[in-house]
Structure 1
Amino acid sequence: MNEFWLYFKLGLNHVLDMQAYDHVLFIVVLVAAYNFSDWKKLLGLVSLFTLGHTISLLLASYSIASVSSSVIEFLIPITILITAFFNIIASRKSNHSEKIGLLLIITFFFGLIHGFGFATYFNMIKDDTTILPLLEFALGIEIAQIIIVIIVLIISFIFQSFLRFNKRDWILIISSLVIGIVIPMLIENWSF
């Protein structure tokens, strides 16, 4: 049971660590276009991201696949940037949810990329060759992401209900703020 909490907390801290806020930025921009009524879609998106993240960790743990850390560090801000631009483009449509199929595929793929970014560290601390630590870690990631989703939905509700931001403006503001934060990350990790 002690080992479960170790890997579970590691998953929680991986997402909620403000020193490595790229994960939080991705979830924030992913959730920006949704409301509480979309909780099933959001749970699906977040779970697909976790699944992609877990698969890439699994592939790296068993030396099936590896990707250069410099490439991954460059691709992570790209995934956030693409998601933000997707929101901006989709906000022109009356129903952002119509694009959910494409967003599901993109989210899973981006989960793969983000997982490879953590693979080296995870492999260094993992002292077990079984899959169990990976699943415990994934559960921690999933719970942390759900916490972020709830916080973003509450903030979104406050801004849209009480401060009277319309949904389109909210999406544009959040996506633009995230783009402004991600561009320096992109420049910093430019490796070409």
Structure 2
Amino acid sequence: MQDFNLYFELGWQHILDWQGYDHILFVMILCGTYSISEWKKVLILVTAFTLGHSVTLALSAMNVLTIDAGLIEFLIPVTILITAASNIFQKRKQKKENTFKYMLALFFGLIHGMGFSNYLKALLGKSTNIVAELFAFNLGLEFGQILIVLATFGLSFFLIWVVKVRKADWAFFLSSAIFGISFIMSAERLAGLI
């Protein structure tokens, strides 16, 4: 149980670490254009992302899947950039567009899972029985994601209902700001990759 608590804590601390804020930005951009009344759509998006990163986190942590860490570190801000751009250019939320967003979140989750696994592998060292640690770490990541979603919903609620910012303006501002940040991150990491 002590190892479970340790890896659970390491999971949520990793996703909430401000030094690795790319994962925070991704979860924010996934849910930032939705209101609290659309929580079911956000739940599906976050679940799709979770499924994706759970698969590659497990495969990569168990050395079944190995991809260059530099490439993954470049692809993570690219996923944020693409998600932000899709939010900016999306005119209205139709069922077909939502399905596309769910599939995108699932696919991008696969990439983020490999990023999480680099950190987890460093923690595990040469440990051979990693199933319990992997499970606890993944639950910690999910707990951290929920905190990010709640904080984003809280900020959205405050700006839309208290400050009286139009929902469309807030969604555009958030998407544009995160687009800019992720563009810079992508460019810096591409330079490091080359």
TM-score (norm 2): 0.92
Q: Which amino acid aligns with 2:177?
A: L
State the distance in 2 between where 1:20 and 1:61 align.
Answer: 19
| Residue identity (%) | 40
2:12 alignment partner in structure 1: 12
How far has the Cα of 1:171 moved from its partner? 0.9
Partner of 1:116: 114
Q: 3-state SS of the aligned residue for 2:55?
A: helix
Over the residues paired in the alignment, what is the CA RMSD in angstroms?
1.5
Cα gap change, 1:128 to 1:47, in 2 (>3 Å)? farther
SS in 2 for 1:63: coil
Cα distance in 2 for residues equivalent to 1:34 and 1:11: 26
**Deviations 1:134-156 (CA, angstroms, capped at 9, x unpaired):** 11111111111111111111110
2:146 match: 146
Residue aligning to 2:101: 103
How many residues get paired? 190
Aligned-partner Cα distance in 2 for 1:5–1:66: 27
Q: Secondary structure at the match of 1:189?
A: helix
CA distance in 2, matches of 1:98, 1:147: 28
Counterpart-to-counterpart distance in 2, 1:9 and 1:81: 29
Asked whether the equivalents of residues 46 and 142 of structure 1 are also in contact (C-alpha less than 8 Å), the reply is: no
The whole-number CA distance in structure 1 between the counterparts of 2:168 and 2:94 is: 10
- Would you say the 8 A contact 1:160–1:167 is kept in 2? yes
Q: Which residue of 2 aligns with 1:184?
A: 184
| Cα separation, 2, equivalents of 1:60 and 1:30 | 24
* Alpha-carbon distance, 1:97 to partner: 6.2
Number of the residue aligned with 2:42: 42
Following superposition of structure 1 onto structure 2, how do residues 41-120 of structure 1 map, counting pairs within 5 Å?
41-90=41-90, 92-93=91-92, 95=93, 99-120=97-118
Deviation at 1:128, TM superposition (A): 4.5
Whether the 8 Å contact between 1:54 and 1:134 is mirrored in structure 2 is no
Cα distance in 1 between the residues matched to 2:77 and 2:98? 21
> How far apart in 2 are the matches of 1:172 and 1:98?
21
Gaps of at least 5 residues in structure 1 are none
The equivalent of 1:24 in structure 2 is: 24
Q: Deviations over 1:78-118 (max 9, x none)?
A: 0000010111111x22x366522111111111111011113
Distance in 2, Cα, partners of 1:96 & 1:82: 19
